[in-house]
Amino acid sequence: MTELAQYVASGLVVGAIYGLIAIGFTAVYNVTGIVNFAQGDFAMLGALGAIGLTAAGVPLAPAVVLAALAVGLAGVVIERVAIRPAGPDVLRGIIITIGVGVSLQGVAVLVWGTDAQPLPAFSGEKPIDLAGVTVPPQALWVVGTAAALMAGLYLFFARTYLGKAFRACAINAFAASLMGIPTSAIRALSFFVSGLVGAIAGIIVAPIALMQYDSGIFLGIKGFVACIIGGFGNPIGAALGGLALGLLEALATGYLSSGYKNAIAFVVLLAFLFARPGGILGELEGAKR
Amino acid sequence: MTRVALLAAALAAVYFSGSGYLVNLAVVTALFALPALGLSLLMGYTGQISLGHAAFVGLGAYASAILAKSLGLDPWLALALAVVATTAVAWGIGWLVFRLRGHHLAMATLAFGIIVHVATVEMKGLTGGQDGLSGIPPLSVFGLELGTDRAVFPLAWLACIAAILLAENLVRSPAGLTMRAVAENEAVAASFGIAPDALKRRIMAISGCYAALGGAIYGHYLGYISPGPFDVGFSIRLLLMVALGGFAGIWSVLFGVVFVVVTSELLKPFGRFDVVIYGVLLVVVMIYCPRGLLDGLGLAARALGRRLAGARAAE
């Protein structure tokens, strides 16, 4: 029983990260119709940025905030420079975001080299015992931050004026522009949100999992799988998809073998792509028709 | 045909220039051109994205090397078997992934590429893991071992020219028209009686065959393979070559391959800087020259010419 609880705990921690990255995917996809293949690299960049700032002597908290904001702004710049001029073509969008991801990885190699970098844990390394389940304190940070961020985003989308404009663009950008919503500003905002959320995901997981220039690819694919499970059009579904994937991975690692960990994500990806490409909660697309 | 003659003349000039460096670059170009041409048939002419093409190169290289080294088959037989097997795998993968399109297809092929890469790293008993396989027997013709740049040069380029001619033939044939119809609009193509999925699978198989041939020759020529060269980065470099060539265009894709090979040589002194250049190049080409670098430069030159002419007229 304790064993199971232990696996569930570690699965939820990893799943929270996948969920955050998945939310980044949906923020961009719903507004622009683009799947951002550089999403995982936002997480990598955020983590390495925070690591670089702390190494330069900046205290942890401002370093985290600065790195996350910087990646969010980088997202805005990327949207303006690379995404907007390319138009709505799917194939071009994919290849351009891949190009952006490769460039970000290249920059990361130039700045931080190819070695994995550690970030100090936010509140020490001493494991915490929760009713027989031991977790590192960072795990609580991960789950807490993810939950707070998801709740904050939910309130933003559901309650604020800007959030409503955002959702209007997601449902129908043309109609939204007729209602006076500045759609290109909302597109930029979607990239800011996705960069910010992605960077925070990368930063909070960095003390548990070492980060290096190519860590983004795997995080990106896991986030995409989470979106596939939960549905691309639906941020809540994507977050739940992330948790489900994290749990599946942790249980598979625990009961089968750690070698299967990455295979699980791909098996789930392929199974869902073939059986339910709309995800469990379905796409917003379905509701549109 | 004149293009092939020109290419042959250029190759002969390289071969007899006496420069080992140029011959080596030419061999590398030929071995990259095979998978790039295959990807162009799939992406450019049939409109189906693949982000896992390095996997087919790797499968061809590993299958041929293992058959020749562990089973002791004649390298030529191993090469033929490896290419046939990879072609079959590509057909089967096509059967799986072409139920998907757009973003989903891209992600599924990316996942396939990573699965194969991880498998080559993890299946240590068969592939030697990260250490790779060494001592792969070279191909030989009448007792002459094709293990050096100069020896493998004719084989690599004969294979490449054959691939070019076959691809040109395919593109010109009625099948080529159906490929472009499917790329343009699947529903319309289907309404003409074309079966899009069957066609895509067949092109995927041809594409995999090209990639495997390149990989198999590479393995026997170097005598050593490791998982490193067949990772996602290589898939993306193939994508860049095809994008620089404007996706659809056998000869312009060959130009894209030459461009990437030469650029990576020029960037070697700058260490890891090449990755940034590749990424930026991919973005710039996709935005400003969707029909390839040559076409984009041609357009820019003409626009510049017009502006100069306009300035002269204004004087």
Q: Give the pLDDT confidence of A202-218 residue by residue, as tens digits.
A: 999 988 888 888 888 88
* Residue B281: closest C-alpha in chain A: A99
CB-CB neighbors (< 8 A) of A245 in chain B = none
Nearest residue, CB atoms, A82 vs list B51, B100, B287? B287
A217: contact with B, CB 8 A cutoff: yes
Q: Do A35 and B281 touch (CB under 8 A)?
A: no
Inter-chain CB proximity A104 and B102 less than 8 Å? no
A276 touches chain B (CB under 8 A): no
In this prediction, residue A279 carries a pLDDT of: 60
Q: Give the residue from chain A lying closest to B238, CA to CA.
A: A95
Cα dihedral B146→B113→A215→B277 (10° resolution): 60
One pLDDT digit (tens) per residue for chain B, 315 residues: 788 889 989 998 888 887 888 999 999 999 999 999 999 999 999 999 999 999 999 999 999 999 999 898 999 999 999 999 999 999 999 988 888 888 888 988 988 898 898 888 888 888 888 888 998 999 988 888 888 888 899 999 999 999 999 999 999 999 999 999 999 999 999 998 999 999 999 999 999 999 999 999 999 999 999 998 998 889 999 999 999 998 888 999 999 999 999 998 888 887 778 888 889 999 999 888 888 888 888 888 888 888 888 887 776
Position A173 scores a pLDDT of 84
Question: Has residue A281 got a pLDDT over 80?
Answer: no
Question: B157-172: per-residue pLDDT in tens?
Answer: 999 999 999 999 999 9
pLDDT per residue as tens digits for the range A124-134: 777 777 777 77
What are the structure tokens assigned to A170, written together?
């997601």
Q: How far apart are CA B227 and CA A150, in angstroms?
A: 39
A259 and B49: CB-CB below 8 Å?
no
- What's the rounded Cα separation, in Å, for the pair B35 and B235? 10
Pick the CATH number of A2-288 from 3.30.420, 3.40.50, 1.10.3470, 3.30.70: 1.10.3470
**Prediction pTM value:** 0.89
Q: Tell me phi and psi for residue A36, to 5 degrees.
A: -85, 100
CB contact under 8 A, B115 and A266: yes
Q: Does residue A62 belong to the interface with chain B, where contact is any CB pair within 8 Å?
A: no
Instruction: Please provide the average confidence, as pLDDT, over all residues in chain A.
Output: 85
Give me the total of CB pairs closer than 8 Å, taking one residue from chain A and one from chain B: 103
Which residues are A211's β-sheet partners? A117
Nearest-CA distance B87 → chain A (Å):
21
User: How far apart are the C-alpha atoms of B222 and A180, rounded to whole Å?
Assistant: 63
Residue of A76, A65, A98, A109 whose CA lies nearest to A224: A98
Contact A99/B at CB under 8 A: yes
Contact A259 B122 (CB under 8 A): yes
